[in-house]
Chains A and B, each alone.
Chain A
């Protein structure tokens, strides 16, 4: 059984930065996976991200990216691209740390061999709980990339017959959900 993490990363209070959690929650409501596959909305982890990486065979991250492309563009990045720049001298030690976490997991020796970042170019990062129109329109494309990667890794998946509404509680566009329990 392969261990796979599908992680949505980003701040759901800052506009398009929340697209990663948005996509993973949609995926979690639509699909069922065999054990060994986890889907997590990780929010905005710093070096804590290392904990999520240890012992994985494959990591799929969905995150907003800055790459100069128009909002809503979906771009795929593999591990060599993500670790090609060394981490910097940190003033604030909690700064975003995806590359550094992957490097640290490799140093320990049990980091994921396969890494895919599905990057969605953001448009607006103003405080607010909804995605901009072009980014929202790219959500289905991002989901297709996740499924394509699972197929490549030969990880079984199927549509959930009893799919409920996704637990995107922060969005004003979807009804509030019960959270306690």
Chain B
């Protein structure tokens, strides 16, 4: 007999991800991903000055502010065919790298680790054995017995108070929780340390961007960071050096702690390399341009179709000639008017709300399609696209991860096992390790370029009277982001943002093809319908971000996701 499970987080105002799954004989037989709130924020941009659009777009989302700012200025620069100075590329790249480091660390430790780590097992751990285990796998200096004991004491204090506080609603004791008390303690101690290191990465964003969460230093045509190596008031050597100190500390944490922990968790849960695959068309755009004209990139892009890891179509440009026409949005199952697939430059956003109907319309998310097929975006796509084209830095960290997981687990884990829930977690750690290496490299490129005497930061834009179109892309922490702008007579005529979580949370299309979240849940075994931990693990592995638009605080409502079993 089949059962329907709905995981639907609450309240009228906050738009949220809702997941419905049908469970048949202990496994998911069908799935629906939906977003419960209409945003339509892009409408606000119509009629505005394209030079100011980035200020508005960085308010789309409270977590991904920087990425929407960058994609916006890039879209206008693309429309104008406006080159930006090399310094501006490096400064933007350093912001993107540090934002990515911050974001990935937070995702692994603070947003998804407790799907795998059972906090209530921690009081049973032996801090001395935990420290010995940690020291056997990493040279990290934060793994002493004293530090493990301190972390354990924090959990004991909470558990002993009778009030679990922040830990109240975890699925503790679930049969799928399989780490030993010592490993649980180790992971939790790094959860606490990670708070400090994600903050350092964010500080670097603030040092270049003026402040966080909303950076101030962008401008269409470059950046607004005046450069003078001898001045403290501008971007000078003193500020560059203090940034570098922070970046080195973060890189060490990523390489010696996050990367190692992700491999260890993967090794203890190797069965999750066989669960959660889903859509195997992978899309990533190139990013971190190396020159003013953006002809070379440090992060590769391309498209892999049908999970075939023997070939990849490589993208040569940030918005490649293959990419531009290939993106269409379908609204067959979304609460919008229309029944044709539209290109974002022609995109419409006319709401047509019906109630949630499994076989009709059921979400506010549109269904983006690449060459008419659903595509998965995010770290797994980034890593696979790079790996298949033989990108050296991707190969270096992917091979290291696969070897480590295989050695610790005693099972051979290969690149073909990456189409999975655990593959997405491991890919995020791989990508983060790569970003830590690249931070060092882009810092050096900026310093070297300034040392040559180049202090240019901005090329002024000028707008033609006619109509122009542009697309700005960024390969963001959650995957491919693209902003599509149409400018007429110097003001914005149309603006569409196709965000990573739209690709991944997309509903079915008019051909009935599931979106990536939906497809990844099919066939997932569910041990206990009342505690669908397996559903959370797979959905969290994508790092969903779709509800950040509106934060009205519900002071009366309980902040608990309803799990409804019918």
Which residue of chain A is the closest to B163 with respect to CB atoms? A86
Query: Is B334's beta carbon under 8 Å from chain A?
Result: no
Smallest Cβ-Cβ distance to A109: which chain B residue: B154
> Which residues of chain B have C-beta atoms less than 8 A from A95's C-beta?
9, 14, 16, 547-548
Residues of A contacting B544 in the complex (Cβ-Cβ under 8 angstroms): 91-94
A96 nearest CB neighbor, chain B only: B551
| A contact patch SS | loop
Q: Which residues of B contact A (CB under 8 A)?
A: 7-14, 16-19, 39-41, 43-44, 52, 55-56, 59-63, 65, 106-107, 110-112, 154, 158, 164-166, 168-171, 192, 195, 198-199, 202, 213-214, 216-219, 224, 536, 539-540, 543-561, 563
Task: List the A residue with the shortest CB-CB distance to B57.
Answer: A13
Contact check, A47 vs B213: say whether CB atoms are below 8 A apart. no
Q: How far is the CB of A108 from chain B (nearest CB, A)?
A: 7
Q: Is the CB of A91 within 8 A of B62?
A: no
Does A44 belong to the interface (CB within 8 Å)?
yes
Complex contact B169–A10 (CB within 8 A): no
Contact flag A67-B7 (CB < 8 Å), given A45-B213, A89-B536 = no
Q: Specify which of B11, B202, B216 is in contact with A48 (CB 8 Å cutoff).
A: B202
Q: How far is the CB of B529 from chain A (nearest CB, A)?
A: 14
Mark A residues whose CB is within 8 Å of B: 9-14, 16-17, 41-48, 50-51, 63-68, 75, 77, 81-83, 85-96, 98-100, 103-104, 106-109, 117, 119, 122, 125, 127-129, 169-170, 176, 179-181
Contact A91:B19 (CB < 8 A) given known A46-B62, A107-B154, A107-B158: yes
B558 lies within 8 A of A88 (CB):
yes
Judge whether A43 and B62 touch: CB under 8 Å: yes
Chain B residues whose C-beta falls within 8 Å of the C-beta of A89 in the assembled complex: 7, 9, 169-171, 536, 560-561, 563
Complex Cα distance A76/B62, Å?
24
Task: Please judge, given known A-B contacts A64-B552, A92-B546, whether A86 and B560 are in contact too, CB under 8 Å.
Answer: yes
Q: Are A94 and B63 in contact (CB under 8 A)?
A: yes
Query: Nearest residue in A to B16 (C-beta to C-beta)?
Result: A92
Residues of A within 8 A of B59 (CB): 11-13, 43-44, 170
B539 touches A91 (CB 8 A): yes
Contact (Cβ within 8 A) B549 A14? yes
Contact between B555 and A129 (Cβ–Cβ < 8 Å)?
no
Residues of chain A contacted by B550 (CB below 8 angstroms): 11, 14, 17, 44, 125
Task: Return the chain B residue nearest A170 by Cβ.
Answer: B56
B518 to chain A, nearest CB (A): 14
Complex Cα spacing A96 to B491, Å? 33
Apart from A89-B561, A95-B16, A181-B224, what 15 extra A-B contacts exist at CB < 8 Å?
A: A45-B62, A66-B13, A66-B557, A67-B555, A83-B165, A86-B168, A86-B169, A88-B558, A90-B9, A90-B111, A91-B8, A93-B111, A104-B195, A107-B165, A181-B216
Q: A92-B544, A179-B55 are in contact. Are A127 and B40 (CB under 8 A)?
A: yes
Nearest Cβ distance between residue B63 and chain A, in whole angstroms? 5
Please determine whether A103 and B56 come into contact, CB atoms closer than 8 angstroms.
no
How far does the Cβ of A96 sit from chain B's closest Cβ, in whole Å?
5
Q: How far is the CB of A31 from chain B (nearest CB, A)?
A: 19
CB pair B44–A128 under 8 Å, yes or no, is yes
Chain B nearest Cβ from A95, distance in angstroms: 5
Beyond A44-B550, A88-B10, A89-B560, whether A94 also contacts B52 by CB under 8 A is no
Determine if A96 and B168 form an interchain contact, defined as CB atoms under 8 angstroms apart: no
A107/B166 in contact, CB under 8 A: yes
Using known A-B contacts A96-B551, A107-B165, determine if residue A43 contacts B543 with beta carbons closer than 8 Å.
no
Counting chain B CB atoms within 10 Å of each CB, which of A41, A83, A94, A100 scores highest?
A94
> Could you list some 5 contacts between A and B, CB below 8 A?
A13-B44, A43-B59, A88-B561, A107-B165, A117-B555
Give, as a whole number of angstroms, the nearest-CB distance from B118 to chain A. 15
